[in-house]
Amino acid sequence: MISISPTSLKSFNTFGIDVQAEQLLNITAVQQLQEAQQNGLLNSPNLLVLGGGSNWLFTKDVSGLVIRMANKGIVERKEEEQIIVTAQAGERWNDVVQYCVNKGYAGVENLSLIPGTIGAAPIQNIGAYGIELKDVFHSLQAIAIATGELRIFSKEECEFGYRESVFKGSLKGQYIITEVSLVLNTTAQLHTHYGAIEEELKKRNIEKPTIKDISEVVSHIRVSKLPDPSTIGNAGSFFKNPVVDAVIAQELKQRFPDIVSYPAGQGRDKLAAGWLIEQCGWKGKIVGNTGTWKNQALVLVNHGGATGKEVFELSTAIIDSVKERFGVSLEREVNLF
Ligand code: FAD
Ligand code: NAP
């Protein structure tokens, strides 16, 4: 059944920003979306699609319809040596990860504990610890907002890039993802050479890690480094790591020998945005009700009662200071409304 009512979005976004949605429609089955489309509800001028709200910064009330994806269900099938796991869009991403880890299906363990739903995972091609969604992506099903038609997207059609996909580009605002399928293996090819994974494995005296070990280690590192949104509002990394021409990265390296950068392919380098922000003196800084996290300057936080506008203004000040010091333009990763 479709239920529509004005609602505060405070508990539906991990920044904990208190804005109102004129209408909120909780979707627990794909048929409800089709019904909403037939009734013209999806024509709302400010239609906003919400999963777990872990990548949104709300700066104003939503005068229109918010669709909240809460459809659940996980199924699997075997295709030769591979396992295809299909989850409804409203399943929590980490629940799907734990489903795979517990069954011994390798591929998503490095992506443990990323907040949000699986339906949102393709939007920015979520990534962590050297793995991106695209590495385990099989296909997805989505409904066209304009026609109500269900369409299957292959990996190629999703046009995945670094924290990018076709759904942030040419098809922005045109589809609602209803389910996502992942392709996993039972023979593990583990990725441990990224971030602090190896260091933590060593601390635990683990020489031959299992899928479960990696998942636990990644979860542990994340809990120790990142603020828990249930106590301190945040949306993870607020900015993307800038990818610049390798020549520019080299020039920066000469001026700032400690700069953190990694090859990004095609003559480009990725700079660690957290380092750039930290060097501008922002790490752990408190500005009114907002600030940056003490253990990772890339994460902007709501220390309590912050408005979206305050957080946005802080992000602008950070962008300006990084531009002035390094000549590098930071781009917001978080979705703004
Ligand atoms: P939302 O925030 O609700 O929405 C995000 C975007 O997806 C919006 O544009 C929304 O309209 C769209 N959307 C949501 N669901 C659908 C759907 N079914 N169909 C169509 N569009 C949809 N991200 C990473 O990549 N790597 C990380 O390691 C990571 N760590 C994080 C750590 C913390 C503590 C936090 C708070 C966030 C982190 N994030 C990370 C960001 C965030 O978790 C991801 O972007 C996640 O995929 C967002 O999922 P969500 O369901 O909360 O989406
Ligand atoms: P970190 O390990 O301190 O590393 C800092 C940055 O350097 C990361 O952004 C990462 O880029 C990059 N990096 C580290 N090792 C690398 C390697 N071997 N090769 C290439 N790039 C490397 O980062 P962190 O803040 O603790 O985060 C750990 C992981 O979780 C990262 O992958 C990060 O993206 C992910 N994460 C993402 C969010 C989000 O909201 N998007 C929030 C928290 C954590 P990449 O970011 O490109 O991986």
- How far apart are the C-alpha atoms of 13 and 50, rounded to whole Å? 9
Residue that the structure tokens 């001028």 belong to: 45
135 CB-near residues (< 8 Å, 6+ apart): 107
Ligand 2 centroid–CA 196 distance in Å is: 10
DSSP 8-state class, residue 332: B
Residue 125 Cβ inside 6 Å of ligand 1? The answer reads no
Which pLDDT value is given to residue 1?
46
* Residue of the CA atom closest to atom 6 of ligand 2: 272
* Residue of the CA atom closest to atom 50 of ligand 1: 116
- pLDDT tens digits, residue range 293-328? 999 999 999 999 999 999 999 999 999 999 999 999
CB-based contact 75:96 (threshold 8 Å): no
Shortest CA distance to 36 belongs to which of 46, 45, 26, 21?
26
Burial of residue 84 (CB within 10 Å: 0-12, 13-18, 19+) is middle
Which pLDDT value is given to residue 2?
54
- How far apart are the C-alpha atoms of 9 and 238, rounded to whole Å? 19
- How far apart are the C-alpha atoms of 87 and 118, rounded to whole Å? 7
Residue 235 Cβ inside 6 Å of ligand 1? The answer reads yes
Q: Against a cut of 0.85, is the pTM above it?
A: yes
Mutational pocket test of ligand 2: of 194, 268, 330, the residue with most ligand atoms within 8 Å of the beta carbon? 194
Average per-residue pLDDT for the chain: 96
DSSP 8-state class, residue 24: E
Residue 126 Cβ inside 6 Å of ligand 1? The answer reads yes
Q: Two tokens at 288?
A: 């009114």
CB-based contact 302:16 (threshold 8 Å): yes
Q: 50 - beta bridge partners?
A: 68
Which pLDDT value is given to residue 3?
55
Ligand 2 centroid–CA 130 distance in Å is: 8
Q: Two tokens at 147?
A: 């026609």
Residue 335 Cβ inside 6 Å of ligand 1? The answer reads yes
Which residues form the catalytic set?
A: 163, 237, 333
Ligand 1 centroid–CA 129 distance in Å is: 17
* Residue of the CA atom closest to atom 22 of ligand 1: 120
Which pLDDT value is given to residue 188?
74
Q: Which ligand is closest in space to the CA of residue 224? A: 2
Residue 141 Cβ inside 6 Å of ligand 1? The answer reads no
- How far apart are the C-alpha atoms of 101 and 92, rounded to whole Å? 14
SS (H, E, C) 121-175: CCCCCCEECCEEHHHCEEEEEEEECCCCCEEEEEHHHHCCECCECCCCCCCCCCE
Residue 76 identity:
E
Q: What is the mean pLDDT of each run of 10 residues along the chain (337 residues)?
A: 75 97 95 95 92 98 95 96 96 98 97 98 97 98 97 98 96 98 91 93 96 97 96 98 97 97 95 98 98 97 97 98 98 97
Ligand 1 centroid–CA 116 distance in Å is: 5
